[in-house]
Chain A
Amino acid sequence: MDFIKHVINGLGLGSIYALVALGYTMVYGIVKLINFAHGDIIMVGGYMIYVVMVVLGLPVWLAIPAAIIICSLTGMIVERVAYRRLLVHNAARISLLITAMGVSIFLQNAFMLMFGTDPKSMPPLFPYGQIKLGGLELASTTVINIVVSLIMMFGLHLLVNKTKMGKAMTATSEDSEAAKLMGINTNRIISFTFALGSGLAAVAALLYCNTYPQVKTTMGNLLGLKAFVAAVFGGIGSVPGAMLGGYFLGVIESLTKAYISTTLTDAVVFGILIIMLLVKPTGLLGRNGKEKV
């Protein structure tokens, strides 16, 4: 019984990783860029929730759309200001990567200037309670995390597979030159992808604040890194892979904490990534990148 409980708690934690991992994987799929500033978008979302709920004293249902809109805008502005010119001129991938790191440092420092370095504590977002399911006793935060992440993923699935934007995204990620010649404004699609990934990061920020009621400017570092691991684990570029990788990572972390050691959690998580990459370099659902010669 304890084991099942740890697994479910892991899924609750993994929900956050999965939502963030989706942002990494979608952006990578479409422009082959590891957007290291993505973790800091979660931080932006966290502070937005803080501003709306604590500074302005408004209810949570107003904080959610505010965070989503501000994060999406931040994502689009970052793409437009920092990445667009590099992408249009086919700059080396390494330049993009370094730019992404620069954006990450910029965002963290900008928020440090605005809000100071000390962590801000958050009020509980949703009423807290224990939920009994059969013989299991689960924290309401865990259940909320899992349910919200599943809804978001179902929505994303519909968006990617059943709408014209989704088809344009898939087409752009497969062959952006051909997509342009079929009348697709690929720059707009790239911008849309950044907005979408950042919007999901805002939801991840909400779940994060729901789980750990505190925001600080560096909160995106480790969270972003772990979500990136989840995306690579699932096969970077693959949307279902990112979800699977996120949940998987959460469960591993929760089980490690329960049965091995709390201090070794991160070591185990990154150790598993190394083993995974040795055994299956393309990740769980990643496509084999081999090209016919």
Chain B
Amino acid sequence: MRLLITKDLSIKFGGLQAVNDLHIEVNNKEIVGLIGPNGAGKTTVFNLLTGVYPPSSGAMRLEGTSIIGMKPFEINRYGIARTFQNIRLFKNMTVADNIKVSMQQSMKYHTLSAMFRLPSYWKEEHRVDTEVRELLKIFDMEDVAEQIAANLPYGLQRKLEILRALACKPKILLLDEPAAGMNPTETHVLMEIIRSIRNRFDVAILLIEHDMSLVMNICERVYVLDYGNLIAEGTPEQVRSNQRVITAYLGN
């Protein structure tokens, strides 16, 4: 079933057509790659999908509902969560608190009940504590739960960013270069994590990546962008042998 669809999605920055008539689809529980040379407009697509930029024209639908005009926090609550190319954790908060920030909207208690410590406050806080611990366990990060995020090693910071996005309970997870700065071993572990996330959380994944081994290994379908235009789509094998893609990456 189609989960996310964009149609003729375009955005202009002044005279620059950053994304032009983009048409992509992501189905339920699918892992889809979005690749292209530097400056192709990949991150701009993420910024459009999450409501950071309003598109100049075109349509975006999640489960059939248009998400154009929604604010970023509304789109997030509706089911799209993301990570960032440059890690943007809440650096001075603990690992557990970083995740709890994402669980805001699922915590049903009122400011007043927090002030007077009513039962609803304790019940919700305990429930979230347990959920956070379970999430950390899945990612093998229980022992760093109380550490300040800025003190984590780079690889764990990347993992925490994915975890924080997952805690929003999205229908689709957008990963912006999850393997950036990782060595081949770490990338391999990351691939396993991404697969297990999809299976365990029933979530679709759209990822931007430059590491071709990762893209070819785990993506079921791939879209290729160049100068804001979609130049190819298909399975990793089809895309790999596509002449336009090879030209875009290597030149004539």
Contacts and interface: CB of A to CB of B under 8 A. Distances in A.
29 contacts: A155-B115, A164-B100, A164-B103, A164-B107, A164-B114, A165-B111, A165-B114, A167-B104, A168-B101, A170-B93, A171-B93, A171-B101, A174-B90, A174-B93, A177-B52, A178-B84, A179-B101, A181-B52, A181-B72, A181-B73, A181-B81, A181-B82, A182-B102, A182-B164, A182-B165, A183-B76, A183-B102, A184-B104, A192-B111
Given A164-B100, A171-B101, A178-B84, A183 B93 contact: no
A167 B101 contact: yes
Given A159-B115, A167-B93, A180 B73 contact: yes
A183 B104 contact: yes
Contacts of A164: 100, 103-104, 107, 109, 114, 124
Interface residues of B, number: 34
Interface of A: 155, 159, 162-165, 167-168, 170-171, 174-175, 177-186, 192
A43 B90 CA distance: 36
A175 B88 CA distance: 8
Interface string B115-154: 1000001001100000000000000000000000000000
Contacts of B125: 162-163
A159 B114 contact: yes
Given A164-B103, A181-B76, 6 more contacts: A159-B114, A167-B93, A181-B52, A181-B73, A182-B165, A183-B104
Interface string B144-185: 000000000000000000001100100000000000000000
A167 B97 CA distance: 7
A161 B101 CA distance: 12
B10 interface: no
Interface in B55-99: 71-73, 76-77, 81-82, 84, 88-93, 97
Interface of B: 50, 52, 71-73, 76-77, 81-82, 84, 88-93, 97, 100-105, 107, 109, 111, 114-115, 121, 124-125, 164-165, 168
A168 B81 CA distance: 17
A162 B103 CA distance: 14
Nearest to A170: B93
A175 to B, nearest CB: 6
Contacts of B50: 181
A170 B89 CA distance: 12
A168 B92 contact: no
